Amino acid sequence: MGKRIYNFNAGPAALPLPVLEEIQGELLDFKGSGMSILEVSHRSKWFEDVINEAVERTKRLLGLGDGFEVVFVQGGASMQFAMIPMNLALNGKPVDYINTGTWATKAIKEAKVQGKDVRVIASSEDQGFSCIPEGVRVDGNAAYVHFTSNNTIKGTQWAEFPESGSVPLISDMSSDIMSRPFDPSPFGLIYAGAQKNIGPSGTALVIIRKDMLERVPAGLPAMLKYSTYTEEGSMYNTPACFSIYTINLVLKWLEEKIGGLEKMDRINKEKGSVIYDFIDKSGFYKGTAARDSRSLMNVTFRLPNEDLEKVFVAEATKAGFGGLKGHRSVGGCRASIYNAVGVDAVKALVEFMSEFQKKNG
């Protein structure tokens, strides 16, 4: 087997090595079935056990009570941008959005396409989305308040979620789901495309509070109704079996190897302080996000000029550090340090960055 690199890709992103090894070990014969998980029927007891376990692990890790349903929906987070206003808007009430960058902007656009009464109640666009808006005020008349918990492109993250009173919060947690504990009770819906922090691409994890299902209009196509997924246990049609199987193994790793979200949070904070402390002291690298809005998942930074950035990315790649080029829309550099990226990887990256500075500073 070739040497594995330090993987700092933004998504599809690093998966825990023990999970990959477990997949490899049972790929040809899943649980004595004589078949791969890629081949078993989604209606079989084998897969039924997998999806049920993934749901139970999600509930345990996030501390979800009986008031929540957990389902898997194809189409990624991008389809959720459309499904949320379609299913959860209320007649005569506005839908409120907080704009913190590209993914929030896309969610807003999808709600507007449907002719909903969309209000952007806070935005950091005037600051180039380099920070999380402060002092967000929520009007009790809104049907819901939507925000993106972590912004992969600009490297910002909500340290504390907005207060919304009795208005349900809805959050795109694609890039930081399962990275830290939080109180789920204010949330009407949480969604996450799997391929950043919990698995491979192919499905979105959707957590919906049961009272929200009463809003789902009757006249929607079956595949675009949340009630279809909750009533059919995500099995109305063939789900993304391999993705769900891998997610379950990642959640098992989180529960059994890491020891839950409090411990994961501590590890993520340690990784963040290793790289941000180095950047701040370097006088060569410069973080692009406001300090109090910095993401523990996506570390965005610049070098003194763009030519140096190209050399940095090329040399890093040669040295076994992958995925450090910034998003095409903003340039610069970005190290995505999701759950599966270990403290060792971040320390190794900082060592490389330090050597690069000595040669080029």
State the catalytic residues.
103, 172, 196
Determine contact, residues 303/285, Cβ cutoff 8 Å.
yes
Burial class (CB in 10 A: 0-12, 13-18, 19+), 347: middle
Of residues 236, 296, 249, 177, the one with CA closest to residue 20: 249
d(Cα 34, Cα 2) in Å, to the nearest integer?
28
State the maximum Cα–Cα separation within the chain, in Å, rounded to a whole number. Answer: 64
The letter for the amino acid at 182 is F
Determine contact, residues 69/188, Cβ cutoff 8 Å.
no
Residue 294, φ and ψ in degrees, nearest 5: -65, 140
Determine contact, residues 212/189, Cβ cutoff 8 Å.
yes
Residue-level length of the chain: 361
Query: Treating both helix axes as pointing N-terminal to C-terminal, what angle do 17-26 and 241-252 enclose, rounded to 10 degrees?
Result: 130
d(Cα 272, Cα 291) in Å, to the nearest integer?
12
Residue 335, φ and ψ in degrees, nearest 5: -110, 115
Of residues 209, 224, 206, 249, the one with CA closest to residue 340: 249
Determine contact, residues 107/84, Cβ cutoff 8 Å.
yes
Give every strand in the sheet of 118-123, ordered side by side. 68-73, 204-209, 187-193, 169-172, 145-148, 95-99, 118-123
In the three-class reduction of DSSP (H, G, I as helix; E, B as strand; rest coil), residue 178 is classed as coil
